[in-house]
Amino acid sequence: MFALNPFAGLGHATHRPLARGIRLAALATAMGLAGCAAQPGADLPPFGDTVQHTKRLQTHEPGDDAPALGGAKAAEAMRNYRSGGAGLQPLPMSSSSLP
List Cβ neighbours of 88 (8 Å cut-off, separation of 6 or more). Answer: 80
Phi first, then psi, for residue 5 (nearest 5°) are -105, 110
- Is 17 part of a structural domain of the chain? yes
Distance between CA 70 and CA 73 in Å, rounded? 8
Distance between CA 43 and CA 39 in Å, rounded? 9
Q: Which domain holds residue 28?
A: 7-33
- Is 53 part of a structural domain of the chain? no
Is the pTM here over 0.75, yes or no? no
Tens-digit pLDDT profile for residues 50-75: 888 888 888 888 888 877 777 888 88
Tens-digit pLDDT profile for residues 2-37: 556 666 666 555 556 777 888 888 888 877 776 665
Per-residue pLDDT, 73: 80
- Is 20 part of a structural domain of the chain? yes
Tens-digit pLDDT profile for residues 87-96: 667 667 777 6
- Is 49 part of a structural domain of the chain? no
Domain count, the chain: 1
Distance between CA 31 and CA 23 in Å, rounded? 12
